[in-house]
A = this chain, B = another copy of it.
Amino acid sequence: MSVELRKRIFAELDAQELIDPHTHINALNPASETLADILGYHYYTELAHSAGMPKSQVEEPGISPKVKVQRLIENLGSIDNTIQYSWFVEIVQRLLDIDVEYVDSSNWESIYSAAETKMASADWEQEVLAKSNLKAVFLTNDFDDPLEGFDTSVYIPCLRTDDLVFHLSKPEVRQRLANATGIEASGAATLREAIGKLFAHFTSKNAKACAISLPPHFSPAPCSDAAADAAFAKVVSGEANGVDAKLLSYFVFWTLAESCVEYKLPFDLMIGVNRGVYADGVFQGQDLYDSRVSLIQYREFFNAFPQVVFPISVLASVTNQELASYAWIFPNVVTNGHWWYSNTPTFIEHDTSARMEAVPKTKQIGYYSDMYKLEFALPKFAMFKRILAKVLAERYVIDRSWSEQRAIDFGKQILRGNVDRIFFE
């Protein structure tokens, strides 16, 4: 009974048109051109490397897309158990319309060719959006992105602020800020002004969110203008120590939240990543984490900005209960998707189950794809929808005697309704 029930609920969820609230899509080149764009995704290169493929093979300069795909295919046998591999197969099956269970050395070449042909079609991007039931996707834009040359109602800008908070000590970042805003920041006041300019620019281009990823040790506090001035001066003169850098990062972080108040933007916090842990890893395959992080670190921050909505992602499943509890108590905290190392079925099932029964149903953003190429929305959302259907079937229709329709409505609100409510109202 449960399996049939899950299928019925899945079918209803699957019919729901989606807006993907967090991706890394390049709006000027959103879809793939060859399978190398698919298999070049760090999930494949890092897993193949982890399973034994030398980094030099993965990243050899100058190799053609086809050679890259051939090499990766030869190394995917060891990872064909992973959920990430299943995304690739589902892309082949449902976007390329090729009915295979594996892609391996026996069949990859014909699939490569078929993909090349399909992806060269003028309407491939539209076809992918249509098959994926995707109305729009959020981007992740550098603060100095001109945001031009694309339809911002489909590719919705999002101001990514890691560079501003954590890398202002780099002269090139300060230069980029000056170029983007026309303001030569020299302290608290000019920094605030420059950041305001960024928000004005982004919101004029239909930006719907500000976003940042944060390391586990980050524990923000307010920083006075005077302290920020002093810290900034030391950073510019190259005399900054760790405390100065920290103060400056606090100041910028706090200022971003102030701008979110002024410009009425939600501020996506993605909490928990340590960058560059595996120094010799492949591109984008070097980051890990320390799961000893707590939302108590944001206590003062959440209290200081009741007017800002914070959609929050946590990297480790062990932080999920805190996230659910903080979203249950703080009006301005919202649960947001299943990030990176927690974006696998066992953790998604546990984490979404815990949120669904304890957080107001209007404050749960079910899922985002985090994709770099459009083709991944379909299999990633499909994974989530299958899990959501399972949880709704088992924990609501069976365990709590809900009607199927009530369960489906709840699922749709998590999948889509709350994206509308939180980012567009």
Contact = CB atoms under 8 A, between A and B. Distances in A.
Interface stretch (A122-130, A135-143, A186-194, A318-326): A318-326
Interface stretch (A159-167, A237-245, A352-360, A368-376): A352-360
Interface residues of A, number: 74
B279 A303 contact: yes
A67 interface: no
Interface residues of A, dominant DSSP = helix
A259 interface: no
24 contacts: A1-B3, A47-B328, A49-B331, A50-B329, A50-B330, A50-B359, A51-B331, A52-B362, A80-B361, A81-B361, A82-B359, A277-B296, A278-B329, A285-B329, A288-B296, A288-B299, A290-B296, A291-B294, A318-B318, A341-B358, A345-B357, A345-B399, A346-B354, A347-B354
B274 A360 contact: no
A331 B50 contact: yes
Interface in A64-86: 78-84, 86
Contacts of A347: 321, 354
With a 10 A CB-CB cut-off, give which of A317, A330, A395 has the most chain B CB atoms: A330
Contacts of A362: 51-52, 78
A26 interface: no
A302 B278 contact: yes
Nearest to A355: B346
Nearest to A362: B78
Given A281-B330, A288-B325, A288-B329, 18 more contacts: A1-B3, A47-B328, A50-B331, A51-B331, A78-B360, A82-B361, A86-B400, A277-B329, A278-B302, A278-B303, A278-B329, A278-B330, A288-B295, A289-B296, A317-B321, A345-B395, A347-B354, A390-B399
A3 B5 CA distance: 14
A212 B356 CA distance: 30
The 4 closest A-B pairs by CB, nearest first: A51-B360, A81-B361, A290-B296, A346-B353
Contacts of A356: 81
A152 interface: no
With a 10 A CB-CB cut-off, give which of A80, A290, A291, A294 has the most chain B CB atoms: A291
Contacts of A51: 331, 360, 362-363
A54 to B, nearest CB: 9
Nearest to A296: B290
Interface in A380-412: 386, 390, 395, 398-400, 410
Nearest to A316: B321
Contacts of A410: 81
Interface string A293-323: 0111001001100100000000011110110
A399 B280 CA distance: 35
Contacts of A296: 274, 277, 288-290
Contacts of A302: 278
A328 B318 CA distance: 18
A229 interface: no
A342 interface: yes
B79 A361 contact: yes
With a 10 A CB-CB cut-off, give which of A81, A347, A353 has the most chain B CB atoms: A81
A133 interface: no
Interface in A237-269: none
A267 B123 CA distance: 53
A324 B83 CA distance: 13
